Amino acid sequence: MALNIQGNLETKNGLTLTNSYARVVPQLEKNGTSIYVNTEYFPTEEAYSNGAYPLPVNFKLIDCQFDYDRNVDGSDILMVATNKMKERLENFGFSVSITEL
């Protein structure tokens, strides 16, 4: 699953992208009650498909951890993580859509 992001995303090397593409990589923690999420950002989906390295962006936009309850959230942790990252990015002022369902 992926996110199409609109808004000024600044990289650590000073580049600002108005549109970007992100891949969400979830990991269920051992205790089963939280999901660790690593998000990789690329300038475009094509860059990702061509094997580009992820862009270095602000840490709070890359790694995060969310509470998880399988009975409430469901068993698809990729969907849960993608929705949580979408919400997180929207809280930072980005416009985000989920792609590749």
Three-state DSSP string of the chain: CEEEEEEEEEECCCCEEEEEEEEEEEEECCCCCEEEEEEEEECCHHHHHCCCCCCCECHHHCEEEEECCHHHHCCCHHHHHHHHHHHHHHHCCCEEEEECC
For 45, counting Cβ atoms within 10 Å of its Cβ (0-12 exposed, 13-18 middle, 19+ buried), the class is middle
* pLDDT tens, position by position, 4-49: 999 999 888 888 999 999 999 999 999 899 999 999 999 999 999 9
* pLDDT tens, position by position, 40-79: 999 999 999 999 999 998 766 777 899 999 999 999 999 9
Contact 96, 86 (CB under 8 A): yes
| Confidence (pLDDT) at 59 | 62
| Confidence (pLDDT) at 78 | 95
Predicted confidence (pLDDT) at residue 90 exceeds the cutoff of 90 = yes
